[in-house]
Amino acid sequence: MRTRTGVHSPKSWRNLQDSRSDGLKAVPCITASDSQHPTEDSMAQNYDAIIIGAGQAGPPLARRLSDAGQSVALIERHLFGGTCVNTGCIPTKAMVASAYAAHLARRGLDYGVIINGDVRADMQIIKARKDRMSEQSRTGIEKMLRNLRRGAVYTGHARFRTAHEVSVGSQTMSADRIFINVGGRAVVPSMPGLDRVPFLTNSSIMDLDTVPPHLVIIGGSYVGLEFGQMFRRFGSQVTIIEMGARLVQREDEDISTAIQDVLIGEGIALRLNAQCIRISGDAGAITAHIDCAEGSPSVEGTHLLLAVGRQPNTDDLGLDTAGVTRDERGYIAVNDRLETNVPGIWALGECNGHGAFTHTAYNDFEIVASNLLNGGARKISDRIPAYGLYIDPPLGRAGLTETEAGRDGHKILIGKRPMTRVSRALEKGETNGLMKIIVDSQSQEILGAAIFGTGGDEAIHCVLDTMYARAPYPVLEHAMHIHPTVCELIPTLLEELAPPAS
Ligand SMILES: Cc1cc2nc3c(=O)[nH]c(=O)nc-3n(C[C@H](O)[C@H](O)[C@H](O)COP(=O)(O)OP(=O)(O)OC[C@H]3O[C@@H](n4cnc5c(N)ncnc54)[C@H](O)[C@@H]3O)c2cc1C
């Protein structure tokens, strides 16, 4: 989670793995664990706050509220830490690191390093490594929660009984403030054949301890691409089926094309403009039947991964009973301060539809905690969209794309440079990709940037922070950056701004 760690997150909460396993344990005011204080339906246990879900926002909020002297019940139905810790960021980035090691080992000769013998991925070791990281984080979070001074942990599925009462099994609790942090899950489309053919999602693929001979992936956005490239590097044959004309369609075409070139260069088969309409076969011999203008109308593989999007875990939460409004896709409607339409109920993280990332969920926590406990006036509209796509090289994205900026009516200037012209990339032997920055020619505001190249996930922050500082682009243009880094080329990009080729 944005325990983001091993050492987890940057602020105090983010070091929780090491914390709270001692001091507070001795003085719990409310004992942790449901089994220790069962309450009958008729005698609801009252708390100052109830938090549903131990994902990226719930646990740090529980800690902040407890530290502020409030009694808190936190309810988790499955794994502490939620998606990021157990089936998302942490395990995938651990596996991406293994895939990178395999890739670099195969390229050893490029660097003058001789490896005698085959480079082969051992899926059991890879799995054990990522499992260790997830477990360390998960147990750290659970331990922190169970040791909160004013906290109680309930395990089970939470459901609203009224706008201020929640039940977990036979137990009921009430609070004036309820925070929903239930996250989301992989969408399983209603596609003929899927009920009879085994398939993987981002959760079940975590259990693989052998390398699939041929992994077929439906969906060409970030989840599909991360798994696609990593399994290709582990030795699988990989085919990605995408119904759109290009991968990662939220990005500009030049970025999508560069990503496609990298994946094709590694031997991944792409089927674009291809909509999967039916699945057939059995374990080990699966066929995806596709509606496509070009190429074969079927793709055969041994394993099938669905990566077609996420849906919020809001369908079985009793939200209607509580009167909480959802949109047509099931996301809980919130205002700029993350309040739902029902006073005293907030929704944080992926379930509110305002970001499907760990950093957006964590930022939701920071907004709510600041507003409730520190008299803050923070809003989600203050944040700048940003995300990382963790293929290799990684893509770091901040703010608007060129297409979005144009659509919003900005008069734009663009700076662009291939990674082949970045000294740091040349020295590292990693010259795939490009960097691109977009500014408003009139206001001199930086509107957005994409760095698809080595270190792009880190380097993007020099642009992001300048955007947060609302500094005009010449401030960054005139900054002296360290040589040799990817960031040192950002001022140069700004010197080379030009109108977009139309
Ligand atoms: C493969 C993959 C890779 C990813 N990589 C990244 C990445 O690199 N960077 C990034 O920023 N984001 C990444 N994400 C997205 C990120 O993991 C999620 O956006 C983030 O975890 C959402 O956090 P959350 O707190 O909203 O919900 P979650 O982390 O999903 O937590 C919700 C929790 O609520 C619990 N819950 C649900 N319903 C109930 C109920 N009724 N009662 C009790 N408990 C309940 C769930 O069990 C879960 O523990 C990735 C996602 C995937 C799938």
**Ligand 1 atom, smallest distance to 53 CA:** 34
What's the confidence (pLDDT) of residue 43?
77
High-pLDDT (> 90) share of the chain, %? 91
Kindly give the distance from the C-alpha atom of residue 87 to the centroid of ligand 1, in angstroms, as a whole number.
Answer: 8
When pLDDT is cut at 50, 70 and 90, the band that residue 44 belongs to is: confident
**DSSP 8-state code for residue 54:** -
Q: For the beta carbon of residue 110, count every other beta carbon within 10 angstroms.
A: 9
Over residues 196-224, the pLDDT tens digits come to 999 999 999 999 999 999 999 999 999 99
Indicate which residues carry an active-site annotation: 483
pLDDT at 452: 98
Residue 484 in tokens: 């040799």
User: Which has the closest alpha carbon to 178: 377, 372, 366, 2?
Assistant: 372
**Considering the chain, what is the average pLDDT of its residues?**
92
* 410 contact partners, CB below 8 Å, separation of at least 6: 400, 440, 447
Q: What is the pLDDT of residue 42?
A: 55
The 10s digit of each residue's pLDDT in 387-402 is 999 999 999 999 999 9
Residue 29, pLDDT above cutoff 70: no
Residues within 6 Å of ligand 1 by CB: 52-57, 75-79, 82-84, 88-89, 92-93, 157-158, 181-184, 202, 223, 313, 317, 349-350, 356-359, 361, 390
Query: Across residues 80-104, what is the average pLDDT?
Result: 98
441-to-393, 413, 414, 497 alpha-carbon distances in Å: 30, 6, 9, 9
Instruction: Report residue 294 as tokens.
Output: 């070009």
| CA-proximal residue: ligand 1, atom 48 (nearest) | 82
Helix ranges (DSSP H) in 350-479:
358-373, 402-407, 423-428, 456-468, 473-477
Q: Is 22 exposed, middle or buried (0-12, 13-18, 19+ CB in 10 A)?
A: exposed
CA-nearest residue, atom 1 of ligand 1: 88
Ligand 1 probe mutation, 358, 389, 460, most atoms within 8 A of CB = 358
**DSSP helix/strand/coil, 434:** strand
Tens digits of per-residue pLDDT, 466-501?
Answer: 999 999 999 999 999 999 999 999 999 999 999 998
For residue 492, the model assigns a pLDDT of 97
What do you get for the CA distance between the two ends of the chain, in Å? Answer: 42
- Give residue 259 CA to ligand 1 midpoint distance, Å: 26
Question: Ligand 1 atom 19: the closest Cα is on which residue?
Answer: 357
Q: What is the average per-residue pLDDT within 227-246?
A: 98
The residue nearest atom 37 of ligand 1, judged by CA position, is 182
Q: How far is the CA of 54 from the centre of ligand 1 (A)?
A: 9
What pLDDT shows up at residue 476?
Answer: 98
* pLDDT tens-digit series, residues 271-314: 999 999 999 999 999 999 999 989 999 999 999 999 999 999 99
Position 9 pLDDT exceeds 50: no
Question: For 358-368, what is the mean pLDDT?
Answer: 98
Model confidence pLDDT, tens digit, residues 140-186: 999 999 999 999 999 999 999 999 999 999 999 999 999 999 999 99
**For residue 185, which atom of ligand 1 is closest to its CA?**
30
Q: What is the mean pLDDT of residues 233-255?
A: 97
